[in-house]
Structure 1
Amino acid sequence: MLSIAFSLVACATLRAPGVVPQQSPNDDYQYRLVELDNQMQVLLISDPDTPKAAAALDVLVGSGDNPEGRAGLAHFLEHMLFLGTDKYPEPAEYEEYITEHGGSRNAYTSFEHTNYFFDVNADHLPEALDRFAQFFIAPRFDAQYVEREMNAVQAEYQMGLKSDPRRGLDVLQEVMNPEHPFSQFSVGSLETLADRPDAPIRDDLLRFYQKHYSANAMRLVVMGKQSLNELQDLVTPIFSEVPNRDYQAQEIEVPLFSEGSLPLLVKVKPQATLRQLEISFPVPDYRQRYQAQPLSYLGNLVGHEGEGSLLSQLKTEGLAESLSAGSGLAWRGGALFSLNVALTERGVQDYDRVLQLVFAYLDMLREEGPQQWLYEEQSQLSALRFRFKEAREPINYVSAVANRMHYYAMQDVLQGPYLMTDYDPALLQDLLANVVAENAVVTLHDQSVQTNQLSQYYEVPYAKHKLELEQLNASRSSTVEADLHLPAPNDFIAEDVSLVKLDKPVPATPQPFVQGARQTLWFLQDDEFRLPKGATYVNFRSPLVGQTAQQSAAAGLYTAMLKDAVNEFAYPALLAGLNFDLYKHAQGISLRISGYNDRQALLLERLLAAVQAPEFEQARFMNIRADMIRGLQNSVAKRPSSQVIDRLREALLYGEWGEQALIEALQDMTLPELERYAAEFWSTATAESLIYGNYSRSVVDEVAASVGVLLSDKPAPALPALQVLRLAEGESLQYAVEVPHDDSVIAWYLQGNGDTWRDRAATALSAQVIKSGFFQQLRTEQQLGYVVAAIPWSQLDVPGLLLLIQSSNTSAPEVASAIDQFMKAVPAVISAEQFERHQKALLHDITRPDKNLWERAEFFWQSIAKKQYDFAGRERLAAAVEELSLEDWQAYYQQVFLDQPHSLQVVAPGRWQSLPAVAVEPLRDAADIKQGHAVYTVQ
């Protein structure tokens, strides 16, 4: 049994006072692994400089452990643990403490795991940790919140009814072996969680908790500024109280698919215009062999995008747009190796040909056999990633490590995901023997498929058939295989990882080294993080972007064509840790290159050469255009709250266009028109660049010369300013939008009084003050919906608040009334002590140091884009926050957000088809809102 095997390894090691796991040379944290008397395994992380402390506890129990007839129980239990304990009985206590001290908290339930995590300003770790620990010592499971939180689970279930990923999973679970735990519905609903005469849900909840929530099945990670000894003294007495019930997870011996059911073909009718082919193969559970990483080796080859790859051939034949491959699902006893292929229209019609190519590629891998040189190349890249591993957000880091502690020997909990040192050709051959057509589950998603069944929980139309192999096998000929081959050696792997000599002195901020009519270039060496990496960002601006929907569509399609044209040669760079992106923005097109600087010059040279002389093919143009149109059409399948926020953004930002306008522009566009647009774009373009990282001064001239080749030597045309809708004092607009979903949604935008630093500070502080109570009152207490959030929502530095609720049980007028009542009550309930805590929390967040080189690069780049050339935006905002007294804030909040609000309410009425009452006629189009309206101009 996997879990027992790892437990034996770990326990034998951890009886010492503490174990230090193998860590990256670039990681300056201190670590210690200890085992408490109750057999809970704990990783302590000390970082004296961390502004945020964090903790995560992962329980080896998930939806796969739900008792029969109680689908969703593990997920429901995760919800309930947040709602009061014997020591801290108030359900809002944990949430309020974390929020008031600059933190956040969350949890997730997967098939095998339930993972709880939080962060908090570092000084407040002891108190936060004590509240957190009580979840696992003495939760209350108050009966009143049992009923209320069932409604939250129901809302989460209903929110996913039109989500194609969840709908696809529902079908997959239905065609699985019903005796396998993964076949169970995992989210839960009012029906599955309802009281029964012989089994009230609270009793089942308690039984499940008392069986599975055992210290020996838990892994805890705590990160703080305290020393390791101090952390151990803090953690030990608290978490030693967690009961050890000696729970042992059992191996799942039944197969995922019933004997004789494979190969299987499933056809699914999606909600969106989704054209997708999934090919999955049940394989053994290789997690014990993490030093060999057989699934990573295979996924790297099947998912390769370079010359000779499966995707290259699919694109050549016009069958597919993208492909991914790897292990997505694993359980104690097995796993799935899966390919996901995004099909073209032709690919849907000829999906048999796609399957022929997939199986032919796998045949080729079997014939070639395991390749040690390819394995060693992947191993080299993994070792580089671990050697130069960078700091992550503490909350994400502790959550990930707590999860992996169940699967790696204790000395490997940090380096385990990066280990690839055990080349085992027999193991790889065993894996390849499992990925054969006879063992495949093929799922075709397309609206044209014929179906004859509905899935139980999401009512998805589908059909299942035996996959006929005779025709597929007949067509896997040598002609097909001749076009498929192993990738060439990767030319982009960094060899020189030395650090450049620093200039003396190194400035604190980037300096403009090139300043011309058409080109500006900022440069700064990194003297803090000292990695053999760097970021080169280039922003090409033109007046021919964003003024019309046609321009926006053309710029987006042009960048997509360029990315497609360079993909085959750039993909190996991506594998080698050289990231690049090319994307449209409000004023032009941006190119970003980041990663190891050793091969950046080669990549930049080849990318710019492709930009200078692209060779676009009509067939690729047609497929990429169709893919973009399909993506825009699929906006109706997004979460309703996301669709409403998109409409809000369109109403506020000039240069933003709705999906339908962009679809129409794309449908009318031809390749010659796109090429003419590209020529006009470059004739009017200017460039602003940032080079930051491990670079010598000479790189400035090289990049400037390369970029300059793309630019005209004629005078640069004027660039239109960016504009944001300016709501007047007391102006209250309502924008009614149609979203094809039963839920009601309100996105209530309250703009600040202006765009001064004081306005930004007061608005950000308002968001900090209200966000915890907004969630607690409107979600936990009133159960208005699953999506409930109050967040700061600045647009181009124009400050604003966003109050968002998506409700499956309450009409939009009632939701709006509840929001209004909450907002009016805020000033009176905030004490001076609470205000001070919120103010400190916000200041802490604003002044938090950058964790890594990329965060620093992003700050510099955004400052340059905003023309904040002294790079002092954080200091100015922090000073403005610090200057606000409680009385100042109350007066601002009362005047700007209550008495004379600058208000835009975007509403999707859902099945109730009713809107909140407003003084003016609701608007139905974003263009009508912006027409002739006052604006903020952003240069």
Structure 2
Amino acid sequence: MHRVTTVLWAALLCVFLTSCATGPYSAIKPAQSPNDDRGYRLLTLDNQMQVLLISDPDTPKAAAALDVRVGSGDNPEGRGGLAHFLEHMLFLGTDKYPDAAEYEEFITEHGGNRNAYTSFEHTNYFFDINAPYLPEALDRFAQFFIAPRFDAEYVDREKNAVEAEFQMGLKSDSRRALDVLQEVMNPEHPYSQFAVGSLESLADRPGSSIRDELLAFYDKYYSANQMQLVVLGAQSLDELESLVVPMFSPVPNKAYAPEQIEAPAFPAGSLPMQVQIKPQATQRQLQVLFPIADYRDDYHTKPLSYLGNLVGHEGDGSVLSQLKAEGLAESLAAGSGLGWRGGSLFSVSITLTEKGVDEYQRVLQLLFAYMDMLRQEGPRQWLYDEQARLAELAFRFKENANPMGYVSSLASGMHYYEPDDVLQGPYIMDDYQAQMLADLIQEIVPDNAVVVLEDAAVSTDRVSEHYRVPYSVGQLEPAQLAAWKGEVDDEVLHLPAPNPFIAEDVSLVKIARDNPEVPAKVLETARKSIWFAQDEEFRLPRGATYINFRSPLVGQTPEQSASATLYTALLKDQVNEFTYPAMLAGLNFSFYKHAQGMSLRVSGYNDKQSVLLDELLQVMASPEFDPARFENIRLDMIRSLENSVAKRPSSQVMADLRESLLYGEWGEQALIDALQSMRSQDLVAYAGDFWRSASAEALVYGNYESAAVAELSQKLDTVLLGEQSAELPQLRVLQLAAGESVLYPVTVPHDDAVLAWYLQGAGDSWQDRAATALTAQVMKSGFFQQLRTEQQLGYIVSAFAWPQLDVPGLVMLVQSPVANTAELALAMDEFMRQLESSVDAEQFQRHQQALVNEILRPHKNMWERAEFYWQSIAKKQFAFDGRETLAGEVEALSREQWLDYYRRVFLDNRRSLQVAAPGQAGALPAGEQRRVDSAQALKADHDVYLID
């Protein structure tokens, strides 16, 4: 698949238009999508900070982000992780707001979230909050960049959080591969530096404390002229301007100017290079990297998008198509990789089969043969224009995104787009330059390649410094290069055909007079029911058709679950070449197994949608499983399940917790055992039984005429084979008894200890759901502050609501490199017992209102609304009033009622399940818990909630 970067680069924003000036600074209105009715104003302040204001009077959430053009590539030599450590420290108190917990508490109590990230060139800070509280939140946020405290106490503490993050990634193959890449790069290139940081790299040294170096780093790089701020609020543009300008004008401008990076990414004479890495997971990966020029200024041309689209294509004539035909690979992604001031990497990443590892030289030969074909064909304007048309459609019908994610991505991109283009920059392709495209393709050759092979069987002769990764590195022999340049059949690889799925009719259908306010069930037979409504609010030439095929033959045994999952994977593979152009054209589909069957979703532009749906249903009705593809996909699923041991430890523990609560969920080993013995004829037989027993429920929502219902009904008859559907067993959720305490120790191959402590609500009524959700809201910020910031127990520390099929519950989760699970349990229990005394009446009301606002948050776009309707139908909430009912129950809770529920249910008579991975420490939570050794043993003799 073509990997498109979210930020496409351009010239620095150093020249601004002077029209529309509203003060002593310049202001302009950037070009925006015709579908975007928000107001925009772009300012440059006196201190040269660039600010984008976004006015959306209807937004329930305000948001802001500030991006500093400094990152881990700017770390001083020998101080790996300093930029990342600085990011952590800015959250922990300023001169105006010295309390380290204050910012987190204010954001959380007013319905918000906050975070940040550090990349090679950027540090990006962002938050959202209930819209009325934007001014107070912005004031706190601005102080990060004016007067942070860097209290020595928290400097010493927060180093442990960075260390915990470093330890957490020691078994992450993506971080391990990056560690090796940085080690084989040119040591004079800034990207060769250690990025995350550790206690060792951040330790005080003779004559130099880390706090002093933090201050020096901040004073040098955190300059207003290298900052981009985006603020989205419900206020008018003038009101936002009068709010933001005085708050952020005091940020000092130190006139910092980033230097161009002149050093090559790889030492002269070192290419072509071959690197072999031994991964933690059972993965087989081939990555080919090519150092190229920095094309970020050329965002009107987007040469990397053009090339990535072709190399990453999955249709007939593509590299991936041929690799699959020869049984060598499962997936391929291509596009821009790392970028820096002066250069970048073009990356091709291929997931190999076992045969592909043995014959990786053939894989490379096909890749380079495709590049030879592209050079021979030369750039083609019709291909470029086709991509440009798709980008233009995407911008024209652009929909609202999550406010926090939106402002964060805009703040990052503003560094590189011209002022008028800060909104449309990622979508512009209006400058076809054949020579630029040809020059880029000339760089994608064997002599300019870094070939990275990851497989457990590779030979290694060294170990990386930070992540201790076994690897080897060497230059390639002429014979290998000659093999890659071997000839390939001219008919095997070729340019893609013109895309037949590009929307041509983007008109809107007429809204019927009897269009229901919410979807109505307009068709029902013994085996199918269809819900329908036209979208009246978002009014886009798009629609969603969701189909749920239910059968009793899913989830009752591991064999059924494995069969359903493998069946959906094979069907998706069978239609991939047909559906890939549709995906590029904005027509998406997914087919997946769920608790009661399989679901098919088709969404996007409704023009050409029926063509895609016809093909999908036809294949579903008469699948043809190629024996070689069956075997490769079966083995790939087994490998993926085996690789669960390489996931983040906290993720593994949460998966074990989920399996413990949900009947029909099975552990990795049970699924592996089922797949090991499965044959293609077994799957064909299973598919026939499934369709003979299945019923269908569908939602048609969006830009459709009512006739779409009858058309869909007729199409469904092609796959529903039996006379009548079989009766479905009810879904079941484990029901813990009052006072019951269960401990489930699990094995996770990692030094860190992990504890996920699940507390179930007293029942599954709306009141239980409301009280449990409110408890999680009240706990969230204090839990993080106490166990992470103050006690420094780990990097992953969170408390959150975790309902399972609407059975309410909450989870406290900590992954710790410094404490065992017994200590974690004591810290969690102590926090819960102190919670009620720490929440006064005003705080309770703020949390209550924050939760109500979140529950009732308006849908941002058509897909969010369609998803709500679809989930409501699945839950049989046919009045579509679940949000209002839950919000009403939250509002009805008094502080006294909530405290009573909290004490009874979460303190005095807990329904408790602790899933604990002891890690290196070995200790488990103490107490009188009943201990179980598997999720299935726990579920075998338990009461359950029955879900209709």
Same fold (TM over 0.5): yes
The 5-angstrom pairing of residues 450-529 of structure 1 reads 450-474=459-483, 476-529=485-538
Q: Which residue of structure 1 aligns with residue 411 of structure 2? A: 402
Conservation of the 8 A alpha-carbon contact between 2:10 and 2:418: no
Taking a change above 3 Å as real, the CA distance of residues 363 and 3 of structure 1, as seen in their structure-2 partners, is closer
Q: Which residue of structure 1 aligns with residue 240 of structure 2? A: 231
Distance 1:691 1:845 in 2: 27
Taking a change above 3 Å as real, the CA distance of residues 94 and 599 of structure 1, as seen in their structure-2 partners, is same
Q: Which residue of structure 2 aligns with residue 123 of structure 1? A: 132
Distance 1:716 1:111 in 2: 56
Distance 1:605 1:504 in 2: 29
Q: Which residue of structure 2 aligns with residue 887 of structure 1? A: 896
Q: Which residue of structure 1 aligns with residue 649 of structure 2? A: 640
Q: Which residue of structure 1 aligns with residue 773 of structure 2? A: 764
Distance 2:722 2:465 in 1: 65
The 5-angstrom pairing of residues 72-83 of structure 1 reads 72-83=81-92
Gapped regions of structure 2 (runs ≥ 5)? 1-7
Cα displacement (A) at 1:4: 11
Gapped regions of structure 1 (runs ≥ 5)? none
Q: Deviations over 1:834-860 (max 9, x none)?
A: 000000000000111000000000000
The 5-angstrom pairing of residues 730-741 of structure 1 reads 730-741=739-750
Taking a change above 3 Å as real, the CA distance of residues 12 and 247 of structure 1, as seen in their structure-2 partners, is farther
Conservation of the 8 A alpha-carbon contact between 1:356 and 1:472: no
Distance 1:544 1:614 in 2: 18
Conservation of the 8 A alpha-carbon contact between 1:356 and 1:473: no
Distance 1:66 1:17 in 2: 33
Letter in 1 for 2:91: F
Letter in 1 for 2:471: Y
Q: Deviations over 1:425-470 (max 9, x none)?
A: 0100110111111000000000000100000000000001212343
Residue 587 (structure 2) pairs with residue 578 (structure 1): yes
Return the match for 2:915 from 906, 920, 935: 906
SS at match of 2:607: helix
SS at match of 2:125: strand
Cα displacement (A) at 1:918: 2.6
SS at match of 2:743: strand
Conservation of the 8 A alpha-carbon contact between 1:357 and 1:480: no
Q: Which residue of structure 1 aligns with residue 448 of structure 2? A: 439
SS at match of 1:326: strand
The 5-angstrom pairing of residues 203-242 of structure 1 reads 203-242=212-251
Return the match for 2:835 from 826, 829, 839: 826
Residue 718 (structure 2) pairs with residue 712 (structure 1): no
Taking a change above 3 Å as real, the CA distance of residues 199 and 475 of structure 1, as seen in their structure-2 partners, is closer
Q: Which residue of structure 1 aligns with residue 147 of structure 2? A: 138
CA-based RMSD = 1.2
Q: Which residue of structure 2 aligns with residue 915 of structure 1? A: 924
Distance 1:474 1:98 in 2: 59
Letter in 1 for 2:134: L
Residue 13 (structure 2) pairs with residue 7 (structure 1): yes
Q: Deviations over 1:746-795 (max 9, x none)?
A: 00000000000000000000000010000000000000000000000000
Cα displacement (A) at 1:484: 0.1
Q: Which residue of structure 2 aligns with residue 869 of structure 1? A: 878
Distance 1:568 1:338 in 2: 22
Letter in 2 for 1:789: S
Cα displacement (A) at 1:714: 1.4
Cα displacement (A) at 1:155: 0.3
Q: Which residue of structure 1 aligns with residue 280 of structure 2? A: 271
Return the match for 1:723 from 718, 732, 741: 732
Q: Deviations over 1:144-199 (max 9, x none)?
A: 00000000000000000000000000000000000000000000000000001111
SS at match of 1:38: coil
Letter in 2 for 1:845: E
The 5-angstrom pairing of residues 622-661 of structure 1 reads 622-661=631-670
Letter in 1 for 2:227: M
Conservation of the 8 A alpha-carbon contact between 2:16 and 2:26: no
Distance 2:645 2:772 in 1: 32
Return the match for 2:540 from 524, 527, 531: 531
Letter in 1 for 2:454: H
Distance 1:539 1:472 in 2: 51
Conservation of the 8 A alpha-carbon contact between 1:580 and 1:591: yes
Return the match for 2:785 from 765, 776, 786: 776
Residue 60 (structure 2) pairs with residue 65 (structure 1): no
Letter in 2 for 1:562: L
Conservation of the 8 A alpha-carbon contact between 1:360 and 1:481: no
Distance 2:725 2:454 in 1: 49
Conservation of the 8 A alpha-carbon contact between 2:10 and 2:298: no
Cα displacement (A) at 1:12: 7.2
Letter in 2 for 1:302: V
Conservation of the 8 A alpha-carbon contact between 1:401 and 1:413: yes
Cα displacement (A) at 1:712: 2.9
SS at match of 2:515: coil
Q: Which residue of structure 2 aligns with residue 308 of structure 1? A: 317
Q: Which residue of structure 2 aligns with residue 351 of structure 1? A: 360
How many equivalent residue pairs?
Answer: 938
Cα displacement (A) at 1:829: 1.1
Distance 1:71 1:741 in 2: 24
Conservation of the 8 A alpha-carbon contact between 2:761 and 2:807: yes
Cα displacement (A) at 1:223: 0.4
Q: Deviations over 1:80-124 (max 9, x none)?
A: 000000000000010000000000000000000000000000000
Conservation of the 8 A alpha-carbon contact between 1:547 and 1:655: yes
Q: Which residue of structure 2 aligns with residue 755 of structure 1? A: 764
Distance 1:22 1:895 in 2: 56
Q: Deviations over 1:375-394 (max 9, x none)?
A: 00000000000000000010
Distance 2:903 2:490 in 1: 71
Distance 1:474 1:890 in 2: 73
Tell me the percent identity. Answer: 64
Letter in 1 for 2:525: G
Return the match for 1:692 from 698, 701, 704: 701
Conservation of the 8 A alpha-carbon contact between 2:784 and 2:798: yes
Cα displacement (A) at 1:815: 0.7
Distance 2:478 2:211 in 1: 50
User: TM-score normalised to the size of structure 1?
Assistant: 0.99
User: TM-score normalised to the size of structure 2?
Assistant: 0.98
Conservation of the 8 A alpha-carbon contact between 2:618 and 2:718: no
Distance 2:47 2:484 in 1: 60
Cα displacement (A) at 1:932: 1.6
Residue 797 (structure 2) pairs with residue 801 (structure 1): no
Cα displacement (A) at 1:921: 4.1
Q: Deviations over 1:858-878 (max 9, x none)?
A: 000000000001101001001
Cα displacement (A) at 1:9: 3.1
Q: Which residue of structure 2 aligns with residue 107 of structure 1? A: 116
Conservation of the 8 A alpha-carbon contact between 2:292 and 2:343: yes
Distance 1:224 1:419 in 2: 27
Residue 427 (structure 2) pairs with residue 418 (structure 1): yes
Conservation of the 8 A alpha-carbon contact between 1:744 and 1:910: yes
Return the match for 2:184 from 175, 183, 186: 175
Residue 826 (structure 2) pairs with residue 817 (structure 1): yes
SS at match of 1:508: coil
Cα displacement (A) at 1:75: 0.1
Tell which deviates more after alignment, 709-718 or 196-205.
Answer: 709-718
Cα displacement (A) at 1:676: 0.4
Residue 368 (structure 2) pairs with residue 323 (structure 1): no
Letter in 1 for 2:187: P
Conservation of the 8 A alpha-carbon contact between 2:446 and 2:484: no
Distance 2:337 2:550 in 1: 40
SS at match of 1:598: coil
Cα displacement (A) at 1:6: 1.9
Letter in 2 for 1:230: E
Distance 1:255 1:516 in 2: 68
Conservation of the 8 A alpha-carbon contact between 1:21 and 1:32: yes
Return the match for 1:161 from 170, 177, 192: 170
